[in-house]
Structure 1
Amino acid sequence: MSIKRHRGTQVIHAGLPKAEQGKPFNNGPAFASTYHLSGPADSAEHQYGRFSNPTWQALEQGLSELEGGETVIFPSGMAAAAAIMSSLVVAGETIVLPSDGYFAIRAYAHEFLEPNGINLKLVRTKDLLAFDYTNVRLVLVESPSNPLLDVVDIKALSAKVHSAGGLIAIDNTTLTVLGQRPLELGADLSMSADTKALNGHSDVVFGHVSAATSMLIERVRLWRKLAGNIPGPMETWLVHRGLATLDVRLERMVSNAQKVAEMLANHPAVKSVRYPGLPSDASYAIAKEQMDHFGFIISFDLGSIQAADRFLQAASLVFEATSFGGVHTIAERRARWGTDNVPEGLVRLSVGCERIVDLLDAFETALAT
């Protein structure tokens, strides 16, 4: 009889080998490009380094347990997104992407899919439920959106896309497997840039795709095999190690983010704040219903480039960088890239694991400038 355990416990044991006397309970990375293969080509579990690796297998098993669907890992989140779009859509078919989501996914579609006959439509996250999905093959949605944190009703959107005969994939990077369960909410695929919070230590670029059906995941796995877009064993092992502490890291990060968001929302220097955990936020109602936590990302507008830059220079505990999800608090003025339609003074803040008393003091001091 299987025992129902908390997901915070599951994440610590996900993908580990069965306990054996005198054997490690966390195997190290398998560095292998070739495997002994005698006789028929399919007579061994592992044949060649581009096809499979025991270290991949362990992490994929663990992520599959948490996602509720079979998983394929990749050397980056963009590789995961590219695998979905490239393996499941052909010339003449249509992809819908959020116009306010991660820019690089849109750029990939513009540069490499549209020239090959795939149609692309861009829709704001808040308008996705009103869109007509007739003749749409794939919808790839980021929820919450990045960086404005709009949340779409995944269950309702999945039903609408399926009724039109399409597939829906959810980019779950901002919440991870412990913050949202896209496959349980009706999505066909769930993907993540594990570079961010799932690994959580800002030292590995990584990604994965999980699917509800074997037919879909086999297409994604075949694309990885033939494109050669494979992760290294050391990176894979590091992500598996990071996965074990995901629950404890998120507990601190999300708790911190809630308190920081509440402070920012009441500070006179802050023009506006977006955080799904604020009852006043436009995303609060649906976020509370479909998310297991409200996340660790906050976006707030300081009104101008100058004010945002002064804040970032003065915030002593904040690393200014273009990523998120690490144990350190990270922030950036998003409009500096020119790829997001956001106010010039908007700061995207990824709240880390520092003690909240120190974070609040650092932010209060910085905002005083």
Structure 2
Amino acid sequence: MDGLYGDSTRSVKAVGSEPVPGNPVVAPPVIASTFHLSPDEAQPLDKYGRYSNPTWRQLESALAELEGAAAALVFGSGMAAITSVLRVLAKPGTKLVVPADGYNQVRRYAKEYLASQGVTVVEAESAGMCAAASDADVVLAETPANPGLDVVDLHRLAMDCRRRGSTLVVDNTTATPFGQQPLSLGADLVVASATKALSGHSDLIAGYVAGSHPELMAAVEQERLLAGAILGPFEAWLVLRSLGSAGLRFDRQCQNAQALAVMLRAHPAVRWVRYPGLPDDPSHQVAAQQMKRFGGLVAIELTDADAVHALVDRSALLVASTSFGGIHTSVDRRIRWGDPVSDGFARIALGIEDTDDLISDFERALQ
């Protein structure tokens, strides 16, 4: 695809169909578990719904295009994508580095399952990821990290992994391919939850893996087949449909996040703010080098839990919910889910509301 196109144009083109007269502009979903077989027993492209599906292929082609990958594979959830990759790469006797400040369920899986299988699991915060990778076999980085929004220097980390001969996997959920492209910075694989900003309507769960190493992608595809961690064809079609507006939605979410972070940084009720787009954020310099947009999440600390609850109660626009990337702006007090954060920590996931309305609403709610 032409590199001169903007992200919204890339989104629209990625989900388009071939212009065959009489065919629908938007391809309908193929909802089937069983396909006709050839009488001579030659293997057709589609034979059974756990192996393949035409709607999968269209979505995978679009995701690969957006991530700058040779191929992509869709899964039933972001965790299904991540754990499938880890099962392929983290064999007994290997050393695996996972984010200490990233999504907590990944750490839990590594400690409770992989460690018991003979994998040495090391947890490293974003700032220490490069040091931890110096003697690792597999490195999983999440950047910006969820929920604290620290940033890993992906180019430096990729170079360190290449010298070691280790495999670098990057969770691109927070940034999305509209914010950064880890494969272009040297990552071997990208994993992500498409539940968030890419589908963007808080109504489905999906994940994917993208990469350009044929043998590695084939191994992940085989793991998906055998483990059965597949995405339903209707859900795949919903993600595909949503991708067409994803670039536009994510742009508004980032715009809202930047404006809100600036306002909250100056507000006396807010102890501190983390957002990579702020010029004085500890991660801004690295983020500015590798990110096109800084994402739709803002992390803040208020006085305590009551202050977070009061913020939501006094607001006319905020929704108390977990997950992120939807059209509604939401607030999530992450300590309730086991993240190592303070009692007054809140992750704000920006939606697509008008920026001025959001700023005014936060100012009223914080008074």
Matches of 1:275 and 1:264 in 2, distance apart? 11
- Structure 2: tracts of 5 or more residues without a match: none
Aligned counterparts, 1:177-188, within 5 A: 177-188=177-188
Report whether the alignment pairs 1:258 with 2:269: no
- What amino acid is aligned across from residue 348 of structure 1 in structure 2? R
Contact in 2 for aligned 1:273/1:299 (Cα 8 Å):
yes
In 2, the alpha carbon distance for the partners of 1:4 and 1:213 equals 26
Q: Which residue of 2 aligns with 1:38?
A: 38
The more displaced of 9-18 and 186-195 is 9-18
1:11-42 deviation digits (Å, cap 9, x = unpaired): 11214321110111211111111111124555
Call closer, same or farther: CA 1:259–1:132 in 2, change over 3 Å. closer
The reply on whether 1:280 has 2:284 as its aligned counterpart is no
Determine if contact 2:253/2:352 at 8 Å carries over to the other structure: yes
Query: Which amino acid counterpart does residue 12 of structure 1 have in structure 2?
Result: V
Inter-CA distance 268–178: structure 2 relative to 1 (3 Å threshold)? same
Q: Which residue of 1 aligns with 2:120?
A: 119
Cα distance between partner residues in 1 of 2:291 and 2:304? 32
Q: 1:42 to 1:231 in 2, by over 3 A?
A: farther
Distance 2:67 2:56 in 1: 16
Aligned-partner SS, 1:202: coil
1:108 aligns with 2:125: no
Partner deviation per Cα, 1:311-353 (whole Å, 9 max, x = no partner):
122222111011100010011111122x211111011000111
Indicate if the aligned counterparts of 1:41 and 1:47 stay in contact, CA closer than 8 A.
no
Q: Is the 8 A contact 2:300 2:345 kept in 1?
A: yes
Secondary structure at the residue paired with 2:112? helix
- Give the superposed CA RMSD: 1.4
- Structure 1 distance, partners of 2:175, 2:40, is 44
1:214 and 1:6 map into 2 onto residues whose CA distance is 28
Q: CA deviation at 1:129?
A: 2.1
Aligned partner of 1:170: which letter?
V
Q: Is the 8 A contact 2:97 2:132 kept in 1?
A: no
Query: What's the secondary structure of 1:61's corresponding residue?
Result: helix
CA distance in 1, matches of 2:152, 2:3: 33
| Structure 1 segments unaligned to the other structure (5+ residues) | none
- Cα 1:163–1:260 change in 2 (3 A) is same
1:262–1:278: 8 Å Cα contact kept in structure 2?
A: yes
* 2: CA distance, partners of 1:42 / 1:288: 52
Q: Distance in 2 between matches of 1:36 and 1:322?
A: 42
Aligned equivalents of 1:43 and 1:79: distance in 2? Answer: 27
Q: Which moved more, 1:203-212 or 1:6-15?
A: 6-15
Cα distance in 2 between the residues matched to 1:2 and 1:147: 34
AA of the residue aligned to 1:244 = G
Structure 1 residues 32-41 or 103-112, which shifts more?
A: 32-41
Contact 1:312/1:332 (CA < 8 Å) preserved in 2? Answer: no
1:47 and 2:47 aligned? yes
Contact 1:16/1:58 (<8 A) preserved: no
Supply the distance in 2 between the matched residues of 1:158 and 1:312 (Cα, whole angstroms): 40
Give the SS at the match of 2:182. coil
Residue in structure 2 matched with residue 91 of structure 1 by the alignment: 92
Partner of 1:78: 79
Indicate the SS of the match to 1:237: helix
Instruction: Tell me the CA shift for residue 234 of structure 1.
Output: 0.6
Residues 15, 244 of structure 2: 8 Å contact kept: no
Cα distance 1:359–1:45, how it changes in 2: closer, same or farther (>3 A)?
same
Q: SS of 1:300's equivalent?
A: strand
Superposition pairs of residues 220-231 of structure 1, within 5 angstroms: 220-231=220-231
The answer for the alignment partner of 1:18 in structure 2 is 18
Distance in structure 1 (CA, Å) of the matches to 2:102 and 2:133:
19
- The two structures have a TM-score, normalised by structure 1, of 0.96
* Residue in structure 1 matched with residue 310 of structure 2 by the alignment: 310
Q: Deviations over 1:88-122 (max 9, x none)?
A: 22111111001110001111112221111111100
Number of residue pairs matched by the alignment = 366
Cα deviation 1:255-277 (Å, max 9, x = unaligned) = 11111111000000000000011
For residues 41 and 94 of structure 2, what CA distance do their matches in structure 1 show?
36
Q: Which residue is equivalent to 2:350?
A: 351
Tell me the residue number matched to 1:270: 270
TM-score normalised according to structure 2 size: 0.97
